[in-house]
Structure 1
Amino acid sequence: MYDLANFTKDDMRHCAIKLRNMDERSRSMEETADRMVRYLHENLIDPRTGTSACALVRFFKTHPYGDLHPELQESAQAILKGRSIIRATKCLTLLATAGDEKYWNDRRDSTGHQAIPLIDEDFVYRAPMILQLIQQFGLEVSTVIDTAPTLITKLSHKAFNVFHVPDAVGSPHIPAQAQFVVPYKIQSVLGFGGMLPSGNLFAVILFSKVPISLTTAGHFKWISAYVRIAVESFDRTNVFTPLADPVLR
């Protein structure tokens, strides 16, 4: 287990190796991501209480709308409220979730976050947390939502980075302050990830009940490279676990 408020370089190395091996005997990116978020939720600890340091851990990946399961397409359509969407539109898709509440432990129970359609730049600019994640990752919004195949080679070598909000309370970048941040005592938010060979973005987001320092955030930039190694073999095929099968943990 790791003290998230005092996350050392040794912790970084150990955690990175653990996450790197989460693809062993895995059938899909979803299954691998599920193992990752549960491992982080269970092993990033607040030593003062002996409980999880994170109220919620989530794994997102952009995915073309046309390749989503019908129920995820419906989730995207519900957000658009009648606006048209094309098959190639990138959707920020929730692949895995683990948290303190029972209903935070199945991606299908999420409301409003199962598949967020990044339909155009205006939409992203009106979604403060998504916008900050993209910008702090060092990416352009147009790059993330673009489906041009000429970008794929260039994007696959994009440096990994982190999205770090050290003070979540009152931050304009973190929504649902009254419904989530304040009642669940969220102090910091940290996202880490990068680009996959397909040109899709992946991000793991920690909603932490303990402060996360800039130094700790930097450690997770390094960890993101190991996360990518574990999931990239599923980048173009087997992203989702077959619907008839439970996710193995």
Structure 2
Amino acid sequence: MYDLTKFTLKNMTECGADLRKLGSGADSMEEVSDRIVRYLYEQFVDEQTDRPAFALVRFFKTHLYGELEASLQQHLTAASPDQPSDVLKCLTLLATVGDQPAWNSRYASEGHQVIPLASEQIVAQSPMISQLIKQFGLETSSVLSPDPELLVDLEQKTFNVFHVPAAIASPYVPAQQEFVIPCGIQSVLGFGGMLPSGNIIAVILFSKVPISRNTADMFKTLALNTKMAVLPFDRGTIFRK
């Protein structure tokens, strides 16, 4: 078990080694991502309450609309009057776990199962997504349509973390009245990276314990371990059969 207020380099190394092993024996990226979010939810504990430190942990991946499973395509078209292009980049929820029953299935998510990233202007209208991309150290254009000539450099880059130390009243954390305040969210932390396919993975942690900048920075290393766990499925099976 780990305490976010006392997270050490030794803890980071141990946690990273565990994350890296979570891909062993899996049949899809979804299965690995589910293991990752559950590991993080179960292993980080608030010592004051002996309860999970994170209210909600989610794993997202960008994915082309044309390669989404049928249920996600239908979910998206039901909310849009226009037929999406097969090359539309979508931010797709692969795994979720949290304090409330509805947060433990990606199919139960009302607004985050699949989020179309139709243009830079559309992304800019979503403060959390646009800030996550910015803090990762990316341009929105490289997320929507990676330049093949730059892809190797981006894929090998160590991304920064997305860190909101004080979630309450932050313009980058939506649903303040419905989620942040009633659920006691203190900080938000996101980490991830770019896969060889040009798709982005991002794990987002909504914490009931304040997360310092020093602790947040240690998750850069955990991002690399997470990437290694899902890497075998980058051009393979994404969704559970």
Both proteins in one fold, TM over 0.5: yes
CA contact (8 A) 1:12 1:219 kept: yes
Corresponding residue number in structure 2 for 1:137 = 136
Corresponding residue number in structure 2 for 1:155 = 154
Q: Which runs of 5+ in 1 are unaligned?
A: 243-249
Structure 2 CA distance, aligned partners of 1:132 and 1:20? 27
**RMSD after superposition:** 1.2
Structure 1 CA distance, aligned partners of 2:35 and 2:115? 22
The CA deviation at 1:147 is 5.4
Corresponding residue number in structure 2 for 1:123 = 122
Structure 2 CA distance, aligned partners of 1:190 and 1:231? 20
Corresponding residue number in structure 2 for 1:26 = 26
> How many residue pairs were aligned?
241
Structure 2 CA distance, aligned partners of 1:95 and 1:216? 25
CA contact (8 A) 1:90 1:145 kept: yes
Corresponding residue number in structure 1 for 2:64 = 64
CA contact (8 A) 1:56 1:100 kept: yes
Matching residue's letter, 2:157:
K
Structure 2 CA distance, aligned partners of 1:78 and 1:112? 12
CA contact (8 A) 2:127 2:172 kept: yes
Corresponding residue number in structure 1 for 2:199 = 200
Aligned positions of 1:72-111 closer than 5 A = 72-79=72-79, 81-111=80-110
The CA deviation at 1:154 is 3.3
Structure 2 CA distance, aligned partners of 1:126 and 1:187? 23
The CA deviation at 1:131 is 0.3
Matching residue's letter, 1:132:
Q
Corresponding residue number in structure 1 for 2:4 = 4
Structure 1 CA distance, aligned partners of 2:75 and 2:173? 21
Structure 1 CA distance, aligned partners of 2:150 and 2:76? 25
Identity %: 54
Corresponding residue number in structure 2 for 1:180 = 179
Corresponding residue number in structure 2 for 1:13 = 13
The CA deviation at 1:76 is 2.4
Corresponding residue number in structure 2 for 1:225 = 224
The CA deviation at 1:149 is 4.1
Structure 2 CA distance, aligned partners of 1:91 and 1:78? 15
Q: Which runs of 5+ in 2 are unaligned?
A: none
With normalisation by structure 2, the TM-score equals 0.97
The CA deviation at 1:71 is 1.3
Structure 1 29/51 Cα, relative in aligned 2: closer, same or farther at 3 Å?
A: same
Structure 2 CA distance, aligned partners of 1:60 and 1:8? 26
CA contact (8 A) 2:158 2:220 kept: no
The CA deviation at 1:155 is 2.5
